[in-house]
Chain A
Amino acid sequence: MTALRASLMRIRGLLRKEMLQVRRDPSSILLALVMPLLLLFLFGYGVSLNPNHVPVAVVASDTGAAARELAARFALSPYFVPLSVKTLNQAEELLKEKKVDAIIHIHENFSADLLTRGGAPVQVIINGVDANRARLLQGYTQGVVQTWVAQEQRRGVLPAGSAAVVVLPRIWFNEANESRNFLVPGLMVLIMTLIGTLLTALVIAREWERGTMEAILVTPVRVFELILGKTLPYFFLGLSGLGLTVAGGVLLFAVPLRGSLLLFMLLASIFLLASLGFGLAISAAVRVQFVAAQIAVIAGFLPAFFLSGLLFDLESTPLPIQLVSHIIPARYFVEICHTLFLAGNIGPVLWSATWPLVVMAIVFFTVVRRKLSGKRLE
């Protein structure tokens, strides 16, 4: 028998064992397939911290005094960090690339209309991926404009009593301004983390606890076969859980999927690998289910919940937390989900979120390989 055939036989044995176990152990099925649906239904409206220092693009097509003054108001507000842009096109690009969260567009006839007609509109385009945040931003812009108008009226520049400036808000990417559209794609992140990290960490720790790992290690199985035997079943389990959530989200809650499904599945696979790698690394280091579960929850699940931008807008968190969020795989996948579901196939955004995941997956699997090398018990 050739070495390759023996190796394939061992992998087959491990895979079959793992699948039989998953099938017969209701807890893995619960975690992988029932939990996603439960979360999908239970997820209410998320909480968002009040955003500040929001980057906005200000397109002042008008160079009149009133327009300049209004633009300056945005600079003075603690809520905004305005970025002057020449054309609306440029601003839209910035919005798509998530460099700014909103566009304040002051029309070329703003000052003239204000003086001659006694009123003029200001166009505000807001990134509505995070529905809550979008609502708040809308309120802030309105506030800035109205304060300015009130002052001008007191100074007598503008006629009193009239609604001189009308804010015309428009919300992009999530026109319905539905929290759901923002939360459901985020849910995918939680589900994949649950299956990838928690389930994997648990099942291997269980093998240590029950002594099966020792029995397996003493067979001529190779380390990569062992890793493959653990990775593949949970990889597919994770993908099915994900498929279920995507289908549920799109069919039940009518969440739009603007990007390509194929691309989404590909990027999700990369995230899943990083997540699985993390779970494997935990269980290679810790051999007690309880501890493995604790670590998986504290280092995997909770950060995916709170520090990934899924619930809270990362840009309104303190700098240290923002820095920490960069080592959390979930953060990148949240970005991928939001982009692909609500915006579309936007290359630069997707790429910048994908390569850190690739790096993390490689790092985690290297750790696992190292930890198990030689198949020693120590």
Chain B
Amino acid sequence: MKTTEVVLQASALGKSFSRKGKAPVIALDALSLRVKAGAVTGLVGPDGAGKTTLLRLAAGLLLPDAGSISVLGLDSASQAIEIQSRIGYMPQQFGLYQDLSVQENLELYADLQAVPLSLRPSRFAELLQMTGLGDFQKRRAGALSGGMKQKLGLACSLIKKPRMLLLDEPTVGVDPVSRRDLWQIVYKMVADEGIGVLMATSYLDEADRCAEVVVLYEGRKLAEGTPAEFRDKLKGRVFTLTPPAGGPPPRLLQTHLAGQPGIIDVMIRSGRVRCVVEAELAARLKSGHSELFPAAAYDKIELSEPSFEDAFMALVPKADLRPKNAASLSPEPDPVPGAVSRRDEIMVSAHNLTKNFGAFTAVREISFEVGKGEIFGLLGPNGAGKSTTFRMLCGLLKVSGGEVQVAGRDLRRAGSRARAQLGYMAQVFSLYRQLPVRSNLEFYGRAYGLSGARLRQRINWALDEFHLRGREESPAGLLPAGYRQRLAMATALLHEPAILFLDEPTSGADPLARREFWLRISGFAAQGVTVVVTTHFMEEAEYCDRLLIMSRGTELVQGAPAAIRRLAQSPENPEPTVEDAFIVLAEGRLPAAAPTGAQGVES
């Protein structure tokens, strides 16, 4: 039987990378693993778990330090070339030649894989049809959208009908429609050709689509099995709470529960709070009482079907990351002051914002308003124009048309006083890598006009709030990714800005870091800070009070998450996600009754 054939086998595989003057980093440690033909095996784990290293070892790009890895029965250390002519490999940053057209890229990889000329026309036609790139044959790869680039990358790695496919996070930053298309192509290859696929992914919901999943953590295998096996372990431990209609946003309840004893994970899904709890707490909840869940905070509590993500969160060890500022529900009798955003006090407004780069329109007539204490999200896949919009808001980029006001002023004309009201966290880590944590904080504090006792007080606040104690003297560049993110956010908040601009703060962060981040944001918003944030993770829409979804420079829809989700509601899909809504909108399948994107959807 085909499905029992093993296409990849790793035994006691070890790999470490030496660093100058420091202990080597262990990327993989005694890892044993099998990947079967005719199925998709998912490789999940937080950043630095060793996913990319494993794929590179399999492709013969790295040599193992210990153990061995074989692909299609060939040893990757000694028979790399033989493996490379039989597999398809798609690196994380897929290397398409930007200056070459779609057709030329395909031809290049066909040449490199020595695909006979006679087979090419039919193969190219098949791949172009499968990826929907038929109409773009002559277009340069650099001018394709992010999703099309990934599809072309996949097509290039499939050029010679590989017997095994290695995919390194192929769907990161890709719009939901293309993401779905990519999966369809992969499934088709598995069904038609019976190939084996090993796919690393940081989207936990994708693991549910795999036949088998391997969870890596710090170079070791934490667990493996079918997604159902993972899910079954958590049966009876996942609860969904429905917040009262018209009450505070669900994120307040989420923030309240995060990090409490007995609670493993808590997140917002489709407007409800979903939590994974320890078995002991689950038993108490089933019998109907727990002091952790103030009765006024929710209407309904019900048992839910576990997902792979729940199981993952329960598996991966985590430190106490609960932010100190976490907003609480009790003991305060009223909703936290400022928790309900005040739409009457407009902090940020954009009107018909447009930006042209030469003949290319990056942003076209975007309008929105953000009230005090609101979390406003700019969502969209890579290349949608989020960062461009953002830079115009911050006064870093000149607008081609339209108006922007931040705290009642145009930042391009207003002086430093207006700028002092906002905190900005750039997409790339923009602190001084060689300077220690404390010096970075001091520098940015002074740059924003803090000094003396006030500066010391704020730095102490930042060190406590962001759990940076004990790392004050380590150079910023050497901090683990999660801590770097915290430091960047701390510097943006030192001067207590009224408005916080965060550009893709969760890009490249693993699920754990992303959760922690959103908890913090909720906390600051509860204190009255206005937050404008961009992200390409559609599920993060749930943490925003309101959001604007962009695609190719224009607005797809604007409104509260619940209202946007409703757009995709149908008999087949009674509880759609924001991602479903994006697909519906992007494909123009709007329900007739729904308002159009430009007018916005208000809750």
CB B199 to nearest CB in A, in angstroms, measures: 16
Selected from A6, A212, A217, the residue in CB contact (under 8 A) with B96 is A212
CB A329 to nearest CB in B, in angstroms, measures: 30
Residues of B within 8 A of A215 (CB): 89-91, 94-96, 153, 156-157
Residues of B within 8 A of A5 (CB): 114
A81 to B437, CA, bound (A): 64
If A212-B96, A376-B63 touch, whether A1 touches B116 (CB-CB below 8 Å) is yes
| A72 interface residue per 8 A CB criterion | no
If A17-B100, A222-B81, A377-B62 touch, whether A211 touches B116 (CB-CB below 8 Å) is no
A164 to B598, CA, bound (A): 101
B63→A374 contact, CB < 8 A: yes
CB A8 to nearest CB in B, in angstroms, measures: 9
Of chain A, the residue at the smallest CB distance from B92 is: A211
CB B404 to nearest CB in A, in angstroms, measures: 33
| A60 interface residue per 8 A CB criterion | no
**Which of A339-378 touch B at CB < 8 Å?**
374-378
**Which of A175-208 touch B at CB < 8 Å?**
207
A20 to B17, CA, bound (A): 37
Selected from B61, B80, B114, the residue in CB contact (under 8 A) with A10 is B114
| A147 interface residue per 8 A CB criterion | no
Q: Which of B101-109, B267-275, B513-521, B559-567 contacts A (4 or more CB under 8 A)?
A: B101-109
Residues of A within 8 A of B140 (CB): 24
**Which of B63-110 touch A at CB < 8 Å?**
63, 80-82, 84-85, 87, 89-100, 104, 107-110
A217 to B46, CA, bound (A): 27
A376→B99 contact, CB < 8 A: no
A16→B61 contact, CB < 8 A: no
A220→B62 contact, CB < 8 A: no
B114→A9 contact, CB < 8 A: yes
CB B100 to nearest CB in A, in angstroms, measures: 6
CB A375 to nearest CB in B, in angstroms, measures: 7
Of chain A, the residue at the smallest CB distance from B117 is: A9
If A210-B98, A211-B94 touch, whether A218 touches B61 (CB-CB below 8 Å) is yes
A14 to B17, CA, bound (A): 31
Residues of B within 8 A of A214 (CB): 61, 91, 93, 95
What are the interface flags for B105-146 relative to A under an 8 Å C-beta threshold, 1 for contact and 0 otherwise?
001111111101000000000000000000000001000000
| B56 interface residue per 8 A CB criterion | yes
A375→B112 contact, CB < 8 A: no
Residues of A within 8 A of B153 (CB): 215
What are the interface flags for A1-29 relative to B under an 8 Å C-beta threshold, 1 for contact and 0 otherwise?
10001100110111011001100110000
B85→A220 contact, CB < 8 A: yes
A283 to B110, CA, bound (A): 26
If A10-B111, A17-B104, A377-B56 touch, whether A220 touches B95 (CB-CB below 8 Å) is no
| A94 interface residue per 8 A CB criterion | no
| B147 interface residue per 8 A CB criterion | no
Residues of B within 8 A of A217 (CB): 61
What are the interface flags for B358-400 relative to A under an 8 Å C-beta threshold, 1 for contact and 0 otherwise?
0000000000000000000000000000000000000000000
If A20-B104, A21-B97, A25-B99 touch, whether A376 touches B61 (CB-CB below 8 Å) is yes
| B59 interface residue per 8 A CB criterion | yes
Of chain A, the residue at the smallest CB distance from B90 is: A215
Residues of A within 8 A of B107 (CB): 13, 16
Residues of A within 8 A of B104 (CB): 16-17, 20
If A25-B99, A214-B61, A222-B81 touch, whether A16 touches B111 (CB-CB below 8 Å) is yes
Residues of A within 8 A of B156 (CB): 215
A216→B112 contact, CB < 8 A: yes
| A54 interface residue per 8 A CB criterion | no
A210 to B99, CA, bound (A): 12
A14, A16, A220 — most chain B CB neighbours (10 Å): A220
Residues of A within 8 A of B113 (CB): 219-220
A221→B112 contact, CB < 8 A: yes
A218→B111 contact, CB < 8 A: no
| B60 interface residue per 8 A CB criterion | yes
A217 to B61, CA, bound (A): 7
- Chain A: number of interface residues, binned into ranges: 20 to 34
| A213 interface residue per 8 A CB criterion | yes
A220→B112 contact, CB < 8 A: yes
Residues of B within 8 A of A10 (CB): 111-112, 114
Of chain A, the residue at the smallest CB distance from B153 is: A215
CB B256 to nearest CB in A, in angstroms, measures: 43
Residues of A within 8 A of B56 (CB): 377
Residues of B within 8 A of A21 (CB): 97, 99-100
Selected from B98, B99, B109, B114, the residue in CB contact (under 8 A) with A1 is B114
A8 to B542, CA, bound (A): 55
B84→A219 contact, CB < 8 A: yes
B100→A220 contact, CB < 8 A: no
Selected from A1, A14, A210, A376, the residue in CB contact (under 8 A) with B95 is A210
CB B7 to nearest CB in A, in angstroms, measures: 16
A377 to B80, CA, bound (A): 13
A374 to B63, CA, bound (A): 9
**Which of A8-54 touch B at CB < 8 Å?**
9-10, 12-14, 16-17, 20-21, 24-25
A294 to B17, CA, bound (A): 26
If A13-B111, A217-B61 touch, whether A212 touches B99 (CB-CB below 8 Å) is no
A6, A219, A220 — most chain B CB neighbours (10 Å): A219
A207 to B91, CA, bound (A): 13
A212→B95 contact, CB < 8 A: yes
Residues of B within 8 A of A218 (CB): 59-61, 84, 87, 89, 91
A20→B91 contact, CB < 8 A: no
A222 to B81, CA, bound (A): 8
A10 to B61, CA, bound (A): 19
A365 to B56, CA, bound (A): 26
A12 to B112, CA, bound (A): 9
B108→A17 contact, CB < 8 A: yes
Residues of A within 8 A of B157 (CB): 215
A364 to B157, CA, bound (A): 33
CB A270 to nearest CB in B, in angstroms, measures: 30
Of chain B, the residue at the smallest CB distance from A226 is: B112
Binding site for A on B (CB under 8 A): 17, 56, 59-63, 80-82, 84-85, 87, 89-100, 104, 107-114, 116, 140, 153, 156-157
Closest 7 CB pairs of A and B: A13-B111, A212-B95, A211-B93, A215-B95, A6-B114, A220-B85, A219-B112
Can you list 29 residue pairs at the A/B interface with Cβ under 8 Å?
A1-B114, A1-B116, A12-B111, A14-B111, A17-B97, A17-B100, A17-B104, A20-B100, A21-B97, A21-B99, A24-B99, A24-B140, A211-B94, A211-B95, A215-B153, A215-B157, A217-B61, A218-B60, A218-B61, A218-B87, A219-B84, A219-B85, A222-B81, A375-B60, A375-B80, A376-B61, A377-B56, A377-B61, A378-B62
A-B contact sample (18 more), CB < 8 A, given A211-B91, A222-B81? A1-B116, A10-B114, A14-B111, A16-B104, A17-B100, A20-B97, A21-B97, A210-B95, A212-B96, A214-B95, A215-B89, A215-B91, A215-B94, A218-B61, A219-B84, A219-B109, A220-B85, A377-B56
